[in-house]
Structure 1
Amino acid sequence: MSKVVIFMKILCLMIFCYPFYGMCTIIGVGTHFQGYRGDSENYLVKIKSLGFTSFREDYPWSNVEKTKGSFAVSDSIRKKDSAFLKAKGNGLEPVLILDYGNKFYNDGDYPRNEESINAFVKYATWTATRFKGKVKYYEVWNEWTIGTGMTKYRKNIPSAEIYFNLVKATSEAIKKIDPDAIILAGGFNPLEQRAKFIDVTDTVWFSQLLKLGILNYADGISIHTYSYLNGRRSLRTVEGNLDYLDSFHAASEKIAGKGVPFYITEIGVTNYTGPGGMKEDEAANYIKEYIKSAITRNYIKGVWIYDLIDDGKDKSKRDFNFGLLNNDLSPKQAAPVVSQFLNGK
């Protein structure tokens, strides 16, 4: 083997590049730009300096179509919009989530009929046109099966077939505008063994999608692999979490009859004081080791840590304390640990 070839292989590993479907593993972070103080670009610089190559952020339908049939950048998404427009200029490849209902269709319910699916597709079409050349990754919905952002409709979450129809129509529309776009679908947790708001578990729901042919319209599958409160304590460890994922992935490929690229679009631990919370040093090691182990698996195409900044200051609230940075932007212990690892220091 020539020295040039050896050097290129080493370089490939250093930047977390693993040959699979001709792509490399992306390491990103979840964001909430609209709630951040100051200009979005300051946070893009921070994300890049930490060693991440991507961020994941939603671009909700209700904030784009505030007047029925008319699409525009409202004040509700102005900072998000700026982040997506400036991402590539700051060396980042963002993931844009198309999600949630709109009051003009089904009283804000899920897109579950032809009219509302067509309306969702028009919003997706406008969004993809706006960000062509700026955004490559589009995710269709976020956490469909547990009703995130859709609390009012959790008692009647649509079936896998309806979600499939939404993904199909949205993917076809985006690909017409940007054939190079990468469409992600799923947004579920394969480690969760309970059925929360629908009558099947997430794994059964996903098997239904595979049988319907979701991979004909999705280039990758988005999964959330939280396990800090999982009843099976072995799954709370990095090794147990990813070993389970290996088995789940193998079973998924058997159903699909072909490769199934996974994107871990959310994984994180909370530093709150309640059950499942981790101390900062424990969280720092968990996040680093999770990334380190995940990137050795060829079927995992990306990992996004949830999230960049704590949503609040109250340490007793679970959802406030997932950040790599405190709410005042000071770094937690995880920030330098992960940054040094990602930057190869």
Structure 2
Amino acid sequence: MRDGRGWGTAIALALVGLGLLSLWRAGPALMDWAYTVTGEENPLARLRGVLHYLTNPLRPAPLLAPDVPVAHTEDPPFGINTFLEQEVEPEKRERTVRMIAEAGFRWIRQEFPWADIEIHGKGDFEDRRHLPHRSAWEKYDHIVALAERYGLRLIVRLTSPPAWSRRDGEARGAFAPPDNPEDFADFAEAVARRYRGRVFHYQIWNEPNIAPEWGSCPTCAVDPEAYTDLLCRAYRRLKAVDPRIVVIAGALAPTLSLNPYPPNGINDVVFLERMYRAGAGSCFDALSVQGYGLWSGPTDRRLRPYVININRALYIRDVMVRHGDAHKPIYIAEMGWNAVPDWVGDKRFGQVTEEQKARYLVEAFERIRREWPWVAVASVWFFKRASDRERDQSFYYFAIVEPDFTPLPAYQALKSYLHQPPRMDPGVHTAAHWALRWEGPWAEAGEGARRGAPGARVMWTFYGGRLRLEGTSEGDARLRVALDGGPPRAFRLPAGSWAVELPSGVGLHSAEVTVEAGTVVLARIRVGREGEAISPALSLGWLAGLMGGLLYRSARWRSQEHRDAPPDDRPPPP
């Protein structure tokens, strides 16, 4: 070897090899652990994925602010996407909603296409496309009524402009924005007024950072500033109708491109950064993203900015935290894995079996609940299509139910999972959390808090490593807290603010809190998750692999210094 660069590379590779050997000697636990950090099923892909995972510390870690209270996260996070507007028969719409409720879902994400409601011209809400003519609201009134009947909450997606809203009709594509964004704001206000007090969650547009969702003509450039303008106009109108409405910024599609023209788009992280610079921070209550796993499972923890996996949501959260929006939640608008059969040529969404899809969706919900307290709702993509005429298209195979209502394995797996008892997971929660069971003299105390008198009890199950209760009390007050059915611990609370902390091992626990004396206001419950131990063999493998990776990268950098980089406007030599 002519210089030290070769020796450095050799040493680095030797350390990587030592790391892999140490990991391999860890026995069967290795492959289980490797799956929990890579989401890879194939053994060789798992080992390669471990090497990628070990490079995570070489990159700046996303800022996630897990201990900040996040709004709108007190309800169950279980959502699913529907295409109810495409079901011609009302009976099929109802059967869909009934099956969704029976499975245990709590949210429906449903499009209310502008082009299907204000069809023929501005202010014209009559559907004259078929005889007999009828109100264009009729179908959507039925959808809202069905959600209410079956105890489901709606996330209404406002998108798909009518042709009349653009001077050139559909020449720029069916999803191109309107010429006048005020026309869209008028439509958003009309929907909100019609369903005031019944629908509280509206998503403004879908995937505005890619084609064709912002137009599909050669000059239809994706435009974060124009989208921000449209978002802000809709936000002001919706809040004027009802301040309780939660305005959700349009789901950002994970993409690596920086070319704003079709068929590309703008990288979702870059797009969001430009939205903030354009003033979007004051124009949404929550942000939505897409949560596709593509070629790896839901446990993939590799942080690689130029790879799309389910972990990409962490980069979006990082941008929000850096711009002071740590208190705002993320809604995962579409979450799924594609069980496309071999005979369909298009594999751009990845390929899994129906059994893997079922397992991955359950694991995804579990990971979100345990690790991402800033996610309010995750919606499976999707329940079913209205017919099977799209069987030759890959996106068709995200469904969890066939068009004839035959359940696929994912439906059965999710139904079993979603019917488990309520549980509180790591994060900062108010007393309005859905897992809490109240008994005795409790009263609402504002901002999600509850005021209890002597004899008041609250019980719940939680997953975590420590429990912290926070609130206020008046005069001489006492609490009794019991964990896992053990002997209760008594706490004398000072007048004013107080906090009680109870450590516990990481796992599933039960808690029972009783007010013994005085008046106690329970405001917040913090569930923490302590770091879980890693075996010595795994630790040695991690350390050796990390050192090897650092040395290897250092050797590559030193080698790069001695080579002339090609100009930016031409590709490197083969």
Aligned mate of 1:64, from 94, 97, 117: 117
SS in 2 for 1:144: coil
Structure 1 pair 332/73, CA: closer, same or farther in 2 (3 Å)?
Answer: farther
The answer to whether residue 417 in structure 2 is matched with residue 312 in structure 1 is no
Query: Structure 1, residues 251-298: CA drift from partner, whole Å, max 9, x if none?
Result: 431134643421101111122125322111100000110011112211
Partner of 1:128: 192
Q: Please tell me whether the aligned partners of residues 34 and 78 of structure 1 are also in contact (alpha carbons under 8 angstroms).
A: no
Give, in angstroms, the shift of residue 312 of structure 1: 2.4
Aligned mate of 2:142, from 70, 82, 86: 82
Q: Please tell me whether the aligned partners of residues 273 and 316 of structure 1 are also in contact (alpha carbons under 8 angstroms).
A: no
Q: Please tell me whether the aligned partners of residues 77 and 106 of structure 2 are also in contact (alpha carbons under 8 angstroms).
A: yes
Structure 1 pair 332/257, CA: closer, same or farther in 2 (3 Å)?
Answer: closer
Write out aligned runs for 1:288-303 (5 A): 288-296=362-370, 297-303=372-378
Q: Please tell me whether the aligned partners of residues 161 and 209 of structure 1 are also in contact (alpha carbons under 8 angstroms).
A: yes
Question: In the aligned structure 2, how far is the partner of 1:154 from the partner of 1:175?
Answer: 36
After TM superposition, the structure 1 stretch with the greater mean CA deviation from structure 2, 26-35 or 149-158, is 149-158
Write out aligned runs for 1:170-189 (5 A): 170-189=234-253
Aligned mate of 1:266, from 334, 338, 342: 334
Write out aligned runs for 1:1-345 (5 A): 20-21=70-71, 23-24=73-74, 25-36=76-87, 37-39=89-91, 40-72=93-125, 74=127, 78-106=138-166, 107-108=168-169, 110-111=176-177, 113=179, 116-148=180-212, 152-153=216-217, 155-190=219-254, 192-195=255-258, 197=262, 200-228=266-294, 236-240=297-301, 241-256=309-324, 258-274=326-342, 275=347, 276-296=350-370, 297-310=372-385, 312=388, 315-344=391-420
Query: Structure 1, residues 30-67: CA drift from partner, whole Å, max 9, x if none?
Result: 00113335422222211111110011111111112223
Structure 1 pair 312/336, CA: closer, same or farther in 2 (3 Å)?
Answer: same
Question: In the aligned structure 2, how far is the partner of 1:140 from the partner of 1:314?
Answer: 27
Give, in angstroms, the shift of residue 87 of structure 1: 1.2
Q: CA RMSD in A?
A: 2.6
AA at the equivalent of 1:326: E
Give, in angstroms, the shift of residue 101 of structure 1: 2.1
Larger Rg, first or second structure (1 or 2): 2
The number of equivalent residue pairs is 320
Give, in angstroms, the shift of residue 155 of structure 1: 4.1
User: Identity, % of aligned pairs?
Assistant: 19
SS in 2 for 1:175: helix
Q: Please tell me whether the aligned partners of residues 292 and 310 of structure 2 are also in contact (alpha carbons under 8 angstroms).
A: no
SS in 1 for 2:115: helix
Give, in angstroms, the shift of residue 94 of structure 1: 0.4
Partner of 1:9: none
Structure 1 pair 251/141, CA: closer, same or farther in 2 (3 Å)?
Answer: closer
The structure richer in helix per residue is 1
SS in 2 for 1:87: helix
AA at the equivalent of 1:164: T
Give, in angstroms, the shift of residue 121 of structure 1: 1.1
Structure 1 pair 161/247, CA: closer, same or farther in 2 (3 Å)?
Answer: closer
Structure 1 pair 79/125, CA: closer, same or farther in 2 (3 Å)?
Answer: same
AA at the equivalent of 1:292: E
Structure 1 pair 335/213, CA: closer, same or farther in 2 (3 Å)?
Answer: same
Question: In the aligned structure 1, how far is the partner of 2:413 from the partner of 2:297?
Answer: 20
Query: Structure 1, residues 122-145: CA drift from partner, whole Å, max 9, x if none?
Result: 111111111112211001001112
AA at the equivalent of 2:299: V
Q: TM-score of the superposition, structure 1-length normalised? A: 0.84
Query: Structure 1, residues 195-238: CA drift from partner, whole Å, max 9, x if none?
Result: 46356312101111122232311000010022315xxxxx5543
Give, in angstroms, the shift of residue 320 of structure 1: 1.4
Q: Please tell me whether the aligned partners of residues 100 and 150 of structure 1 are also in contact (alpha carbons under 8 angstroms).
A: no
Question: In the aligned structure 2, how far is the partner of 1:189 from the partner of 1:314?
Answer: 22
Structure 1 pair 251/61, CA: closer, same or farther in 2 (3 Å)?
Answer: closer
The structure richer in strand per residue is 2
Give, in angstroms, the shift of residue 187 of structure 1: 1.1
Q: Please tell me whether the aligned partners of residues 262 and 301 of structure 1 are also in contact (alpha carbons under 8 angstroms).
A: yes
SS in 1 for 2:100: helix
Query: Structure 1, residues 93-139: CA drift from partner, whole Å, max 9, x if none?
Result: 101111122222223453365xx111111111111111112211001
- Any unmatched runs of 5+ in structure 2? 1-67, 128-133, 302-308, 422-574
Question: In the aligned structure 1, how far is the partner of 2:69 from the partner of 2:389?
Answer: 41
Question: In the aligned structure 2, how far is the partner of 1:170 from the partner of 1:45?
Answer: 32
